[in-house]
Structure 1
């Protein structure tokens, strides 16, 4: 007969001081009980409980261990996934998948560049077209769904808590899971750069942004999967519609003349970061129960992106001083329309003029 450990501890009467005889020591959690043969015959009531305990001692001991293990597993599961609404969702119950995918991403960049060093760059035009189209459509879905679900839940733009919107909060969390998962898909941005040998585009900003976002959003989905968290992904989904449309068009050389708006796309990204910081800090000024530490962390992280993107913008788009060439053409050279014959070349039957 197996006696549940709880029953033993609740019903076992207090033992009197022991007075010699053979003693057995049994440890069960923090409880320690000393039993003697002399004491077994002291009182009938006590002896009945004692005989029952000794006869089923090992069974009770293992039963108790099982109970402890169950409690440990329950508490561990609650710790790993703090918000019960996302418990059991793909890749959220454990951090290991997110961590290993990030490590694989970083290794792929390093090993991929070594592999492609003495090989020709790949075109990947068809794959890139489908990839950019897919990310654009996914971003469009997330934008629409975030707008509709936050509207349904009556979200407060200044500060929105984690529980007051009911089912709308769960709907927001489901979209944000896709947002988190899309960050793993976007690792392919860098892999395609590696295969096309576009190493100049694999900057610290690029790798930092991709690797950090995926890991940060694992934390967001586990602890703050809705409420105030909705705003940044809404803006980012809109920016990604523009950005991946640009990437998709840039695959085709004939479309390059229509892609004059890359500079403004970078400006839009900077505006997105500033608006996200403003929205986040508004919940600090007027709290609504959203975790303060998360707000401070998000604002700090967005500030690092602002700094890095400003540096990128300055290096990429600032106007470099144009050096005027004051040298006169060599004597005896015929000059037409300000160009000497030495600077007029023919290529593929088309006359091209190269400025001095």
Structure 2
């Protein structure tokens, strides 16, 4: 295994160039296979999990979902706060920021972004809970694509560009995840469901995040500062894929469902709040629950 890792690392380094020595020896970062294996195991879970649960009763997971989502809310809040303060401390430039220009602020951002990378591994549990609860309609291509790619992308980011212009997307995404995981934590409490009205705006916030990240990344192409151009072009391309997929999700989830609800009202049907009435989810509303875009 050590010989294989050495050959693989040599190949990756010859392709990508020298790694950033500031993350040498950090957990999961020296070798790519652990990250790749975790991704393969995740995809196997997506494929085999629903089959395993097919003839079994769904699990509630209510209490653990509250704890899990609260923990990710707090982690996202911590990352957002630390990134914002480090960017302010280092006087980061919105238009372009190199990876070796802010001293101690760079080091702080590197440490926070490692947690951001690791959080993408933790977030595989989102899908695990969908499978246990038999919410298979939530396991969309967008959901799997986003989860599987982010962990791998951030392994490469942490090894080559772990600070500088890489900060923006992670900062904005951490803020969105504060809103998103707090929403899902509260939605696991039946009595809170009628009061949760902002899910639609979380998706809108995600789309704003992708557009602003693409604009901010493009600024570094127009006004370069030494940040590697290859990374900038890749990030722009990746943002485009997310924008296309999230716009498609938004249209299918909210525009079509909105038209369907208007038709129900015209036919005299009684609509429930967020698909729930008195904190319970009737069987007929569960079937049409909005898929989760994260």
> Which of 169, 174, 190 is equivalent to 1:253?
190
Offset at residue 234 of structure 1 (A) = 0.4
Offset at residue 326 of structure 1 (A) = 10
1:320 aligns with 2:259: yes
Q: How many residues align?
A: 258
Determine which structure has more spread, i.e. the larger CA radius of gyration. Answer: 1
1:108 aligns with 2:55: no
Which is helix-richer, 1 or 2?
2
Runs of 4+ in structure 1 displaced over 2 angstroms? 75-81, 319-327
- Per the alignment, do residues 314 and 223 of structure 1 end up closer, same or farther by CA in structure 2, a change over 3 Å counting? same
User: C-alpha deviations, 1:318-350, integer Å up to 9, x for none?
Assistant: 1326559999xxxxxxxxxx99xxxxxxxxxxx
CA distance in 2, matches of 1:149, 1:326: 53
1:297 aligns with 2:231: no
User: C-alpha deviations, 1:79-123, integer Å up to 9, x for none?
Assistant: 397111111111111000000000001111211111100001100
> Which of 131, 134, 143 is equivalent to 2:71?
134
User: C-alpha deviations, 1:289-333, integer Å up to 9, x for none?
Assistant: 001110010011011000000000000111326559999xxxxxx
CA distance in 2, matches of 1:78, 1:105: 23
2:121 corresponds in structure 1 to 184
CA distance in 2, matches of 1:274, 1:323: 33
> Which of 13, 35, 40 is equivalent to 1:79?
13
The answer as to whether partners of 1:132 and 1:248 remain within 8 angstroms in 2 is yes
Gap runs ≥5 in structure 1: 1-68, 328-337, 340-356
Greater displacement, 278-287 / 252-261: 252-261
User: C-alpha deviations, 1:212-236, integer Å up to 9, x for none?
Assistant: 0000000000000000000101000
Which is strand-richer, 1 or 2?
1
User: C-alpha deviations, 1:4-48, integer Å up to 9, x for none?
Assistant: xxxxxxxxxxxxxxxxxxxxxxxxxxxxxxxxxxxxxxxxxxxxx
Query: 3-state DSSP class of the match of 1:91?
Result: coil
CA distance in 2, matches of 1:214, 1:324: 41
1:198 corresponds in structure 2 to 135
- Per the alignment, do residues 189 and 78 of structure 1 end up closer, same or farther by CA in structure 2, a change over 3 Å counting? closer
CA distance in 2, matches of 1:172, 1:211: 23
The answer as to whether partners of 1:136 and 1:245 remain within 8 angstroms in 2 is yes
1:162 corresponds in structure 2 to 99
CA distance in 2, matches of 1:241, 1:171: 20
The answer as to whether partners of 1:83 and 1:224 remain within 8 angstroms in 2 is yes
Query: 3-state DSSP class of the match of 2:259?
Result: coil
1:266 corresponds in structure 2 to 203
Which structure is richer in relative contact order (CA contacts within 8 A, separation 6 or more)?
A: 2
The answer as to whether partners of 1:183 and 1:214 remain within 8 angstroms in 2 is yes
Query: 3-state DSSP class of the match of 1:320?
Result: helix
Query: 3-state DSSP class of the match of 1:193?
Result: helix
**Alpha-carbon RMSD:** 2.4
Scaled by the length of structure 2, what TM-score is found? Answer: 0.83
The answer as to whether partners of 2:66 and 2:189 remain within 8 angstroms in 1 is no
User: C-alpha deviations, 1:190-223, integer Å up to 9, x for none?
Assistant: 0000000000100000000000000000000000
2:173 corresponds in structure 1 to 236
Greater displacement, 214-223 / 109-118: 109-118
Gap runs ≥5 in structure 2: 270-294
The answer as to whether partners of 1:77 and 1:93 remain within 8 angstroms in 2 is no
- Per the alignment, do residues 324 and 156 of structure 1 end up closer, same or farther by CA in structure 2, a change over 3 Å counting? closer
1:119 aligns with 2:56: yes
CA distance in 2, matches of 1:325, 1:167: 59
